[in-house]
Every structure is written in structure tokens, then in C-alpha cells.
Amino acid sequence: MEFCMNVATEGILEALMTNPNENVAVSPSSLNVVLNMVASGSNGKTLGQFFRFLGAKNFTDLNSHSSSLMALLNGSTKTTTAKNAPLLSMVNVMFVDQQYSSQLKPSFQEIVREIYKTEPTSVDFHEAEKLKNEVNSWAEKNTNGLIKDFLSPPTQLFPPFFLANALYFKATWKDQFDAALTRDKNFHLLDGKTIEVPFMVQKQRMTQSYGSFKDFKVIRLYYNQGDDYRYMHERMCMDIILPHKKDGIQDLLHKFNSDDAKNLLHNFDFQPVEFSKIWIPKWKFSYGLDPTDLMKKLGLTLPFHYPVADFTNMMDSPSGDEIFIKSMLQKSFIEVNEEGTEAAAVTAVFGCFGSSPCSPPPRVEFVADHPFMFMIREEVSGAVIFTGAVLNPLSE
């Protein structure tokens, strides 16, 4: 997960430099699962590099990580959700060109089936539009309609395989905001301008978890966990990480690119604090990311380079020697309002052939009226489901 968090924060930083008014949302968890899945088909030096960057010692370790993450990301479903519990589901898919489906190794098929809960599907990659429509329908269905047209022109699919996962999250706040109190308020953009945006407000004496650090402060807002004992070990929450300086988001992101800051939040003992005022903007937006170059920049290079990539644990030679990852794609959506949060992500791999914390004051205000970072996480495991930055709450 650490590598995928680094990819996410690096992606947010690059997006901020390109367009300082564009909001960003990335799912490290979705990226992690799809990388683990494709890593299961790699071999040799490619596999060794996957192990190093994904924090696994061997196949057993990789599969164990994936099983735990899949269990977390499927903690509740549309048919089994306890009353008021967060809805969290992940579905994986793998399409293999019919010309090569017989070359898939049984051991890889078993991993895909047992760990990632899907069956490789044989299709004709030459029927490009039909396959794109099938992928788009699958993505839309498994994100509750939040992500449409995942594969849009000029995206192309190449033999021998395409694999993806779809992640969906919906939860209500433990302490909901009263919509009648929502008010327009100035939000400070990075260019120095201000815009009026709708802010959710909690004015009554409300106790929330809080942490204050040298350059930023954090409020942790919990979601309803439900009334079923099966979900008591999961504590879903959103951290809103607000830099002290109104233009401090870039420095904050650089800080979160270091291990120290990420570990600080995960290990910090947040304190219950009585707030005199909480103002959080509403936001709703979509975002698309090709993480390929980001991963290469961070050092994961072999899977993307022909002829050095080795996927002979996925397919027999000579096909397995010819495969490399041409590109990847993630599209995300998130909406935060008075009731709670709804978010989704689809992440895909396109295969191809080649020839110090300080004590908080007793009562504080939290007014997120300038660009900030957010994370949706499961508190016990520390798994980050979504992360991103809100630079302009009105930008969709």
C-alpha cells in the first residue's frame, strides 16, 4: 500500500503543478489490488521488482496481502449490509484474447479465481467496440452508475489481456451535518482569489477526533459503522488535512510523500476535542489518471518495458516472454455532502505484446476554507481507500 500511496501523492502533486484549480481523487487501494493481480503473472526480475515495490517477500506474502485487502474492500455488499453500515465493494475482471486464452497457466488462473474472485473470460479483441462496450457496462454497473464511459476514444485494447477492478464506497456520517445550516462562504484558491462555495456546518458543541502538527491540522470524521457485530472491527473515517497556510497544500503534499508524515497519521493517537465550529465545503468531482509514468518515475520500470518484462507465470512461452504492460488507467468519482460520502474508482491494466504532534487546545475551530488534502481510510488496518486534494470545491 505504501508504494501506491506514493504514486497517489506524486500524482496529486503533478496535477497541482499543471492545473492549480483542478481537484484530484485517487484510490491507492484499487491500484494496489490491480498491481498485485498482474504481479501474480510475472516472473524473474520483473516479479522481484514487483515484490520490492509492493512490500511482499514472496508469492505467499503477496497473496496474503491481497486476500486481506479483498476481504476489507468487500466488508459489506448491497445484499448483506447491516443497517447504517458503510457499503464497500470491489469486483475484478480479466479479459483474455481468445487466441491466447488456452495459454493461460492453470496456477495463475487459480490465483485469479481464489484470491481475486473472478474468472478469466475469453473474448475476441478484434471486436474492439463490442469489448469496449462490455468493459464500460461492467464499470458502470459495479460503481453504481458513478463511472460511465470508462474506456472513451481514443483508448485502444490490445491482445493478449485486459484486467481491471471496480471499487465502490458509500457511507453516512456518524455525526451528520444539518442541511438547513449549510451556508455559502469564501474559499481561498491558490492564485489568491476567493470564491463562494456551500459549506456544511456544525455549530453545536461537537466532539470529534483531532490532531495538530507543526504545519497542518487534521480532523477525523467517522462514518456510521452499522449495528452488526461483524463490522465492529472496521472503523471507516475521513481525515481532512488542512495546512496552516492558505497556500500550503503543495508543501503538505511533499510532506506526505515522506514516510514520516504517513506514519505520523497512522500511529498518532487522535484526541477527542470539543469544537466550537466546524465548516467543511461540499464537493463533487471526477478525475482520471494514467499512473504509468508515475510508477516508472518511482522506480517500478520492468513490467512496462519490452523485452525485459517477464510474465511467464501468466502465460506459457513464447507468449509470456512477449507480454508487457502498455499502460494503466484509473478514473475516480467522489461526492461529499451533509449525509456522507459516495465514491468509486475503476483501475485497469492494458497488456500488450512487443516484437511532531502538539497538544490541541481544549476547544478549536476547523474551517476548511482553503485547499486541503483528504483521505478515506479504515482506521485499524490503516488502508487508504481514497485520497485526494480539494483545490476548488466548485470544480467538477
CATH of the domain at 127: 3.30.497.10
Looking at the structure, tell me whether residues 220 and 137 fall in a common domain.
Answer: no
Question: pLDDT tens digit string along 103-161?
Answer: 999 999 999 999 999 999 999 999 989 999 999 999 999 999 999 999 998 888 989 99
Residues in a beta bridge with 25? 388
Average pLDDT over residues 358-365: 47
pLDDT at 227: 67
pLDDT at 361: 38
Picking from 255-264, 280-289, 294-303, which range would have the lowest pLDDT averaged per residue? 255-264
**Residue 396: inside a domain, yes or no?**
no
> Domain limits at 201?
179-281+357-390
**Residue 203: inside a domain, yes or no?**
yes
Q: How is residue 215 annotated by DSSP?
A: S
Mean per-residue pLDDT over the chain, rounded: 89
Contact 80, 158 (CB under 8 A): no
Question: pLDDT tens digit string along 145-184?
Answer: 999 999 998 888 989 999 999 999 999 999 989 999 999 9
pLDDT at 269: 73
Q: Residue 369 sits in a domain of what CATH number?
A: 2.30.39.10
Looking at the structure, tell me whether residues 291 and 343 fall in a common domain.
Answer: yes
Looking at the structure, tell me whether residues 77 and 7 fall in a common domain.
Answer: yes
Residue 272 pLDDT exceeds 70: yes
Residue 279 pLDDT exceeds 90: yes
pLDDT at 121: 96
pLDDT at 75: 67
User: CA-based Rg of the chain, rounded to a whole angstrom?
Assistant: 21
Average pLDDT over residues 294-300: 95
**Residue 167: inside a domain, yes or no?**
yes
Looking at the structure, tell me whether residues 70 and 201 fall in a common domain.
Answer: no
C-alpha cell at 265: 497519521
Looking at the structure, tell me whether residues 225 and 315 fall in a common domain.
Answer: no
**Residue 9: inside a domain, yes or no?**
yes
**Residue 395: inside a domain, yes or no?**
no
Global pTM value: 0.90
Q: How would DSSP label each residue in 184-212?
A: EEEEE-TTS-EEEEEEEEE-S-EEEEEEE
Looking at the structure, tell me whether residues 226 and 348 fall in a common domain.
Answer: no
Helix residue spans in the chain (DSSP H)? 2-18, 28-39, 44-54, 59-73, 106-114, 128-142, 249-256, 259-267, 292-297, 319-322
Looking at the structure, tell me whether residues 165 and 48 fall in a common domain.
Answer: yes
Looking at the structure, tell me whether residues 249 and 110 fall in a common domain.
Answer: no
**Residue 197: inside a domain, yes or no?**
yes
**Residue 92: inside a domain, yes or no?**
yes
Residue 363 pLDDT exceeds 60: no
C-alpha cell at 269: 493517537
Looking at the structure, tell me whether residues 288 and 379 fall in a common domain.
Answer: no
If one counts the domains in the chain, the total is: 2
Looking at the structure, tell me whether residues 337 and 261 fall in a common domain.
Answer: no
Under the banding of pLDDT at 50, 70 and 90, the label for residue 264 is low
pLDDT at 262: 59
Question: pLDDT tens digit string along 51-77?
Answer: 999 999 999 999 999 999 999 888 654
Looking at the structure, tell me whether residues 235 and 266 fall in a common domain.
Answer: yes
Looking at the structure, tell me whether residues 275 and 305 fall in a common domain.
Answer: no
Under the banding of pLDDT at 50, 70 and 90, the label for residue 267 is low
Residue 83 pLDDT exceeds 80: no
